[in-house]
A = this chain, B = another copy of it.
Amino acid sequence: MEVPGLERRFRERGLRRTPQRVAVWSDFADHPGSTIREAAARLQRAGIGQATVYRAVRALEEAGLIVRFAAPHEEVRFAAVLDHAHLLVCERCGHVEPLQECGLRAYEAELARRSRFRVRGHTLIVYGLCPECQESP
């Protein structure tokens, strides 16, 4: 997968752009909301060892290239991000949709003022039932 900006982001962070890391990132981009285990299973078929997947996830997360999130009573899941991290997750089928704006910028600023935290970012997970899962019983 050709990802505009990815290369640059790797370089900026001093991460080596190995085929494995790109593959891990791409896998989460193609399958947002996967668990590490699911991703590792797919990537193993491409000859990528599971230790590498775990190591790549750590590196990518530290670089802010993927985010982790936990839907209620679910294993930790990941999704690729190039920008902000906002996800809409179906509780039933696990389908994940990335969201655009969340209108939290002002809230964040006010929060920083009131709490005296230095706010670095946020993760918002909205969960519910996707249209398909609303149908089936």
Contacts and interface: CB of A to CB of B under 8 A. Distances in A.
Interface of A: 58, 61-62, 64, 67-70, 72-73, 76, 88, 90-91, 97, 99, 102-104, 107-108, 111-112, 115-131, 134
B67 A76 contact: no
Query: Copies per complex?
Result: 2
B123 A125 contact: yes
20 contacts: A61-B72, A61-B73, A64-B72, A68-B70, A68-B73, A70-B70, A70-B76, A72-B123, A91-B120, A97-B115, A99-B111, A102-B107, A108-B126, A116-B131, A117-B129, A117-B130, A118-B128, A120-B129, A123-B125, A124-B124
Contacts of A104: 102-104, 124
Contacts of A91: 120
A123 B91 CA distance: 13
B103 A90 contact: no
A6 B70 CA distance: 24
B99 A103 contact: no
Considering residues A69, A70, A112, which has the most beta carbons from chain B within 10 angstroms of its beta carbon? Answer: A70
A48 to B, nearest CB: 20
Contacts of A90: 117
Nearest to A72: B61
A63 B116 CA distance: 33
